[in-house]
Each structure stands twice: as structure tokens, then as C-alpha cells.
A and B are shown apart, each in its own frame.
Chain A
Amino acid sequence: MASAALPRAHAVGRSYAAPAAVAAAFALSLAFLALPRGTVPAWLLRVPREWVPPLRRWLSAFMDWLVGSASFGLFTFKDLTRAFSALMDWPLWLAKSLLVTGFQLGEGSAAVALTAPVSWLAVILLLTLFAYRLGGRGLAILVFLCFAYLALFGQWESAMVTLSSIVIAVPFGVAGGLALGIWAYRSPRFERALTPLLDVMQTTPVFAYLVPILFLFGFGPVAAMIATIIYAMPPMVRVTILALKQVPEEIKEFGRMVGCSRRQFMWRVLVPTARPALMVGVNQVIMLSLNMVIIASMIGAGGLGYDVLASLRRLDIGAGLEAGLAITLLAIALDRMSQAAAGRSERRRGRQGGASGFDGVMAAALLFALATLWLGLRYPWLARYPEALEISTAPFWDALVRWINVNFFDQLEAFKTTLLVYVLVPVKRFLLAQPWPWVLLLLTLAALRLGGVRLALVVLGFGLFVAFSGFWTKAMITVYLCGLAVIIAALLGIPLGIACGLNARLWRVVEAVIDTLQTLPSFVYLIPVVMLFRVGDFSAMIAVILYAIAPAIRYAAHGVRRVPAHLIEAGRASGCTPRQILLRIRLPLALPEILLGINQTIMLALSMLVITALVGTRDLGQEVYIALTKADVGYGLVAGLSVAAIAMIADRLIGAWAERLRRRFGLQA
């Protein structure tokens, strides 16, 4: 954060002017905190109500119009979306009939069963065989264990409800993301328009646009699926754009030389070459779709998400954990299978042909699966996993939480109080004491220095939006909660990530843990956290850290690992100690990746606001939630967009910083 008088400071290299300017700005900010109450005029601490434009009313009116009367002449907008929803209902109905209900005639309580659902036995058998085909014995065992868990722990039916909407939502998310990504790759103008939209899709809390979606697409699994796709698709788009851009120039050159048409060039040259990178996008779509299971269950999708919510309302922590774990295992099985499928199509190009005997086994299993549609009607134990054979570990978990609570509460309480008194409360007071013009000034100057005039204008624009949304105080509480959580997550996650980057065995363990943390619904651990730490900011922060630490670890590990070997060799040759290699070579070169990791940590932290609102924080997430209870669409959207604006400010600033670091170290963008 240098002042504008030092525009060339970074070009010269290290200069003491910049740190001095930062220190001065910080001192001044501290001064605001020290000033007696009332010295700073109230209008500087929050934008007066009269100055706030009636954006909420306009948005509400616009939504009313869109939902109620927007028309294309022959049919209304709502007719269009309802028709789309009817179309989407088809594959969903098919999947659900196959996996959950069986095919039925009629609906509701008057429905008559024509067939049973495909038996759990057949589903497990088919998936295990399929996994064996894709990835060999290891994968087959993993998939078998995951699905056996679902049956054994009595989660089968709910899991199949969830699975049937996931297997529909994921292909739509992947195909839509791929299409948008390809379009953006071809047209830079479209890419520029799309990028902010993707940010908004990812960071605006779902509750903010839930009500309009329910109106447009009807209350039920389809609306839930659309909300899922909105949330889960953006990473696929981003990854597609990046992957296509990274296809080596020689391959593109070759494609042009052999005279490919535009279509051939895309599908025969670019997409196959980019496939490994594209699979990262598929992984993210699967993970994020399963992340939405809880919210989807609130609007009629049912399934595991509903089980989690219902058991936690009864404070049945063990049952909530078992249902939550089922979501995680589903995510892991689907993810590993899709990764194996991608790897296999790579390998297959090398050696043609497969085991034809195995095809026979697969066909037999498939026939068996079809036969269970009818057999299930005669033998109920085929259609439903027998209840008598179910097991549960729920009492153990309840007892564990109780034991910790009874024996360690005082120590935990002391720890919490220390952190609250010495860290949380001072930071909160510090942030709330800052006048908004001063915060905007600092942000703009930082942007100016990191990225130039354009970035400064963008950041100023987002900042003004937040200030004039009428939610300034709530926004600062959001910044305080997420900011502290991100700092703690970075302090814990980056060193761990670096250690993982150096030690592959450690990485395998840590990866399993963070995959679990990211897909286990946060509600599952939020309730025990509340029991141990009471309602309040501290509990919310723990939940945010647990969820958002994953990218900090992942990216740091990735960054350390991909430092070019020749640079490390060069360091070793010139006599560096291992410590010097780490501090002088690996870390500086991994810094851009680490920054991207922090960027993602911020995004995830902000996306947790909806959940933390449930334990009583008073931030923007709570405002969005309140808007939902008041059925005030405009209010919720403005609060939701403020979250998105904060996310984008952080993203743009960190992106510019990472870019500068890359240039300094002579790395490619």
C-alpha cells in the first residue's frame, strides 16, 4: 500500500518507501480506534440511510416482473423456465425410478408399483465391476466399501435419492461448463463478460436467489438441481478456459497444418490434449454438487441432506455424522471413478482391446440388475436392504462428544476466552472503527500500486457498492470473521502444505482428511462445535477454518512440488543447505501458487457465511437469511451481492499481487 507519489517503487526493486507507507497507514487506522467515541462523525462510520439508493426495491420489483409478467408475446418467461424444468424432470424421474422408487403408475399415495427399484445388491455389484474395469482392484475395493457402507449403515435409500440427482446434475454442470468455457476461449470479449458473472455465481449465497428460482422452476428436485448447477459449474468454466489456453503451441500448429476444420480442431486436437486438466474441473463439479446436498434438501430434493438436518435437529449427532459421512463417501467414490475413467481413456490410446471375458461378466451383472426390477417385488429383501442387518455407531459418537464436553469444557472455555479477548474482539473493534472513505481509499491505493488504474477503478467500484448497499457495518463484521479465519487457515495450512509438498506419504494422509472436510456437510461438525464452544463468533470461525483450510494446504503443496527440478539442482550445485533450498528457492517460486491458494481460501470462507448464520453470527450471511424469512428478495440479493463484491475485491487484489510476483521471478503466467 504505497502512496501515489511512489508509482515506480516496484520497478526499482526493494525499497523502504512501501513498508513505510504501509506502517503509516496502519498507524493512522489505529488512531481511529483510539479516538474517543463520537469524534468521528457517524456518517463516516456508516453511509446514512438517506444516501442509500433504493436498489433493494428496484431488485424486488425487477424480480416480481421477471417472475410474474415478463413475456415473449406467445409465452411468459415463467412458462419458458417451467418448460425447461419439465424437460429436466425427465432424466431425474428416470434415475429416481431406477434407483429409489421403482417404476410406478400414477403418483402420490395412489401410485401403483410396476417394478421394484434396482436392488442394492445389483447396484453394488455393477459399480464394483465397473470400478474394476476403470481402475483395477484398488478402485474396485474402494467403491465396494463406500457403497457397502451405505447399505450397512442404513443410508441406502437416502443415498440413492441423492445419487440420482447428482448423476443428473454433474453431467449438466460439466457439459454446460465445457460449452461456456469453449465459447469464452474462442471469444475474448465473451470471456471478459463471463468472468465477473462466474464470481457472482460462486460467491453469492444461495439463499439470496433461492426464492426466485423456486418460482421459476417450481418447488422440488429440479429447482434444487438448478441451484446446484449454478454453484458447481463455475470451476468447470474456469478450468476449461485455462486448459485450452495451455495446449502447447506446437500441437495447435500441427492441427492447423493437417487442415482441421474449426470443429475438428476443437474436438480432435484441443479438448483431448487438455483432458487431464479438464478432469480437475470435473472433480470440482462433483465435490461442489455434493456440497449443495444440504441446501438442496431444504427445497424438496430430500435424500441424505434431509437426514443430516433432521438428525441434528434432534441433536442426534451420531446419526447426523453417519448421514454426512455417506455424502463424503459418495463424493469420494464418484470422484475416484471419474479420475480413473479419464486416466483410462489416456492409456487406451496406447493399447487397444480389453478382456472380452470381462464384458461377459458385466453383461450378466446388468441382466441381473434388470431382473431385480421384478424380483424385488417378490423378495422385499432384494429391493430394500433388510433393516435387521443395519448397524449404527451413533451412540458411540454421542458418548464421545458428551465425554469431551463433561471433561474438557473448562480447558476449552479458557482457550476460547483467551482468543476472544486478545484477538477476536480487538480486531472486530479495530475494523468497525474505520471510516468507510478511509477503507475505500486504502483499497484503491493498494489496487493502483498492484495493478494500475484499471484495477483501482474496479476495486473502487465494488467498494462503493458495498458502502452504499446500506450494509457497511455487516460487511465489516464479515471481513473480520472471514479475514481472521483466512489468516488462521493460512498460518496452519501453508506450513502443512509445504511439508506435504516435500513428503508424499504425508500428503496422502492429509489429502484424505481435507477431501473429507470439504464434502462432509459443515452442519455435522458445527453442532458439536456449538456444544463445546457455545453460540457465537468463535464457533462460526472454527467452522469456517475447517472448511476453508483445504485450498491453502492443497495449493501450497502443489506449488512446492512443481518448482522446476533444474533450479533445485542448480541450488544444490552451488552448495545450498536443504534449509536454504527451501527458503531461498522453493518458497519464493511457490509463492504465486500459495497466493492463489489463499485466494481460494477466501472464496470458500465467504461461501460458508450462509452456514455460520445458523449459529448466530451478525454478518452479511445473517442478513441474507433474514431476507429469506421476510420473503424480501431485493434485500437478500443486495446483501448477497455485497458478499460477492467483497470476494471480488479480494480476488482481484490477490490476483494482481500474484501476477507481480510471477513477473519478478520470471515465471510464466
Chain B
Amino acid sequence: MRPTRGFVAVTALAALALLPPPAGAQVESTDPIRLTLHDWTGQLITTRIMGEVLKAAGYNVEYVQADYLAQFAGLKSGDLHVAMEIWETTGRQAMDEAVATGLVENLGETGMVAIEEWWYPLYMKEQCPGLPDWRALNDCAELFATPETYPKGRYLGGPVTWGGYDEERVEALGLDFEVVHAGTDAALFAELESAYQRRAPIILWVYTPHWAPIKYEGEWIEFPPYEPACYEDPSWGVNPDLAYDCGKPRGPIWKVAWAGLKDKWPGAYRAIKAFRVTNEEMGEMIARVDLEGESVEAVVADWMAKNEDRWRAWIGQ
């Protein structure tokens, strides 16, 4: 359907149609590579960087707004081509399912590592001086309680779909807390914003790279550090009878693509595989957009100018 459209445009506007061919003719195919945009800033930045790099290599790039989970249908059918941020923690199941069909390929890590843990605003430390050690949580459980959970504390977890084993963690570590799930990221941080405005007690699931730990001052709870054995072997850790008596694993953020990418645009495929950024740069760029109000495009252009050597290497120049 796409070529016909071009044809129509030509015939309908014949007077204007004789224009030079698009630049960058040396790439394998000038069909647009479709990258998906989601609704959080970090992902927009990652994707725009990748897109700009591909453009510099002469590829034709198109950005498509797509839902994080619904996009897998498009990636499988080849309607969409690249998704730059699939988080180990929130997208693993959908990604594995898609990769298992053979229609989608995992292009490796982005270099960013997702940290997810229980988190509290810094002002809570005055009222509960034992923090951030997890053993202090039970002393302050009533502080974090609400009428629905009293006398237990209320811990606001992520959406059910994110997993995270918080119920199991509460049980295994004997915490006097009740886990309440937010349905979305937006709801989660709406509660944090509300509590922060009132300097009210709150403890919740926060992750990074994200604007929240930059905007709000706070700390992660220090649980016994994660080891694979903790999740698999009940005898590991402080509770000899139960697994999950430790913190959360730190998971990579993955890049995935339509399986046909490799054959249609081999150069782009290599470039996307080579893409790497760090948590620190990403955090700084997210803060500039979300907190200082700069545009995503400007921040990306700035990064491109400062890191020319790095991205030139990705596209083999």
C-alpha cells in the first residue's frame, strides 16, 4: 500500500513531482525502519538517539507511537521493527513469548540497568532513624500504616503485571506490611507526589532510570543483596524456610527487533546491536527533559554532538 501512496502523490501533484531522490542511497533498503515510542521520557530519548544514529548512516527512519505491550503484535508481524527499551522486570514475559515464536529477536542489552526496590522519601528518616536498613522497617510499620492496613504498614507495589515477589518478600522477611498494587506507573507516582507535597509517610516501589528518584530526595531500602540462590533455594538467607528473603535483582533493559531486520537492513541491525548507554547519562538527560523542561529533540541533539566518536563506531564509520 505504501508504494501506491507515493504513486498517487506523484500523479496528483505531477507539477511538483520531479524532485531529487532521498539522500543516503548506499543503504540496503530505503524503506522506513519503524521505531516505537512509548509514553515515558527515558524511552523517548533512547529511541530518538538510535533513530538519529540510523539517519546519520543514511537509513530512512519513522517513529510510531505504540503501547509498550501491544507493540509485540506489531513487531511479530513486521509492521513495527525496533523497540529500544524492554525492561527485564516488566516486559520479560511478553518478550520471551515473542522471541519464542521466532518472529522477534532480542538484540541484547542497552547498557542501562534497571534498579527497582522499596524506596522512601528522605524526610522519613527523621521519624524512623533506623532506615535504610530493612530491619528498621518493622519498628516503623505503624508509621506507614493507613486506616485500611492498620496496624500493618502500607507498601505501594507496582502493577500486578510487573511481578516482583513483594508478597513473598514480606512473608519471608516477616515484615509487618501489606502490599497494595498500583495499576500503572502513573498511579504509582501520583501517590508519591501527593505524599511528598504533604511530607506524609510513604514507602513504595521506585525504579531507575526514571525522573522520580531525581526529582524527589529519597533512599532505597537495603535488603540482603540479591543472589539467584535467594529466589531458588529456601534455605538461603535469614529465613531458612522461605525463598525471596532478599532484595530485588537488578535487571538489564533489552532491545528487541522484528526478526526480518537482520536480512533487510543488516547495517542497521549491527548498529542497534552495538547501541550502549549508561544509567548516569540517561538519568541526566531524563532530568533535563522532565525537570528542566528542555525538549527531547534538543537533549538528543546535544548528546549526538558530544558523543560523535561513540555512535560513529556503531555504524562502522
Contact = CB atoms under 8 A, between A and B. Distances in A.
Give the contact-size bracket for chain B: 35 or more
Given A110-B30, A630-B94, A300 B190 contact: no
A421 B149 CA distance: 12
A406 to B, nearest CB: 6
A219 B32 contact: no
Interface in A620-641: 622, 625-626, 628-631
Given A421-B147, A527-B186, A314 B290 contact: yes
B65 interface: yes
Contacts of A155: none
Contacts of A631: 69, 72, 93-94, 97-98
B13 A215 contact: no
A455 interface: no
A114 B147 contact: no
A115 interface: yes
A615 interface: yes
A578 interface: no
A297 B65 contact: yes
Given A110-B32, A310-B39, A314-B211, A220 B76 contact: no
B147 A420 contact: yes
A489 to B, nearest CB: 21
A298 interface: yes
A394 to B, nearest CB: 11
A218 B77 contact: yes
B55 A109 contact: yes
B123 interface: no
Interface stretch (B19-27, B109-117, B217-225): B19-27
B187 interface: yes
B2 interface: yes
B80 interface: yes
Nearest to B161: A629
Given A535-B183, A631-B97, A527 B9 contact: no
Nearest to A531: B194
Interface stretch (A100-108, A126-134, A433-441): A100-108
Contacts of A218: 74, 77, 79
A215 B73 contact: yes
A613 interface: yes
Contact of A107 (B32, B69, B77, B97): B32
Given A109-B32, A109-B61, A535 B10 contact: no
Contacts of B270: none
A616 B17 contact: no
B73, B161, B180: which has the most chain A beta carbons within 10 Å? B73
A89 B1 contact: yes
B191 A531 contact: yes
A105 B193 contact: no
A141 interface: no
Contacts of A108: 31-34, 60-62
B64 A220 contact: yes
A626 to B, nearest CB: 6
A284 B214 CA distance: 45
B183 A614 contact: yes
A110 B24 contact: yes
Interface residues of A, number: 67
Given A214-B70, A215-B76, A219-B79, A300 B186 contact: no
Interface string B1-23: 11001100110110011010011
A219 B66 contact: yes
B146 interface: yes
A461 B149 CA distance: 39
B290 A114 contact: no
B41 interface: yes
A256 interface: no
Nearest to B51: A109
B298 interface: no
A302 interface: yes
B65 A530 contact: no
B165 interface: no
B272 to A, nearest CB: 16
B39 to A, nearest CB: 5
A93 interface: yes
Contacts of B41: 314
B181 interface: yes
Interface string B174-208: 00000011111111111101100110100000000
Given A218-B77, A219-B73, A220-B64, A110 B23 contact: yes
A211 B66 contact: no
A664 to B, nearest CB: 44
B160 A622 contact: yes
A530 B6 contact: no
Nearest to A527: B190
Q: Is the interface of A mostly helix, strand, loop or mixed?
A: helix
A535 B97 CA distance: 30
B308 interface: no
A149 interface: no
Interface in B35-54: 39-41, 51
Contact of A405 (B12, B160, B194): B194
Interface string A376-418: 0000000000000000000000000010011001000100010
A302 B93 CA distance: 26
Interface string B56-89: 0000111011110111111011011000000000
A106, A211, A421: which has the most chain B beta carbons within 10 Å? A106
Contacts of B280: none
B287 interface: no
A577 to B, nearest CB: 47
Contacts of A645: none
B183 A315 contact: no
A312 interface: yes
B309 interface: no
Given A420-B148, A535-B181, A614-B183, A219 B77 contact: yes
A625 B70 CA distance: 11
B257 interface: no
Contacts of B180: 535-536, 616
A371 B1 CA distance: 29
Contacts of A314: 41, 211, 290
Interface string B253-291: 000000000000000000000000000000000000010
A612 B183 CA distance: 8
B66 A300 contact: yes
Contacts of A622: 160, 183
Interface string B126-165: 0000000000000000000011100000001001110000
Contacts of A630: 93-94, 97, 161
Nearest to B72: A631
B114 to A, nearest CB: 17
Given A219-B66, A298-B67, A315-B189, A114 B60 contact: no
A596 interface: no
Contacts of A405: 194, 197-198
B182 A616 contact: yes
A300 B198 contact: no
B62 A109 contact: yes
Nearest to B148: A420
Interface of B: 1-2, 5-6, 9-10, 12-13, 16-17, 19, 22-24, 30-34, 39-41, 51, 55, 60-62, 64-67, 69-74, 76-77, 79-80, 93-94, 97-98, 146-148, 156, 159-161, 180-191, 193-194, 197-198, 200, 211, 290
Given A105-B6, A219-B80, 12 more contacts: A104-B9, A105-B9, A106-B60, A107-B60, A110-B30, A114-B13, A214-B79, A314-B41, A534-B191, A535-B156, A614-B186, A616-B159
State the 3 A-B residue pairs at the shortest beta-carbon distance, nearest first: A108-B32, A219-B74, A110-B22
25 contacts: A105-B17, A105-B19, A107-B32, A108-B33, A109-B61, A110-B24, A114-B17, A211-B70, A218-B74, A219-B77, A402-B197, A409-B198, A420-B148, A530-B187, A531-B193, A532-B194, A535-B156, A536-B148, A614-B187, A616-B183, A625-B183, A626-B160, A628-B69, A629-B94, A630-B93
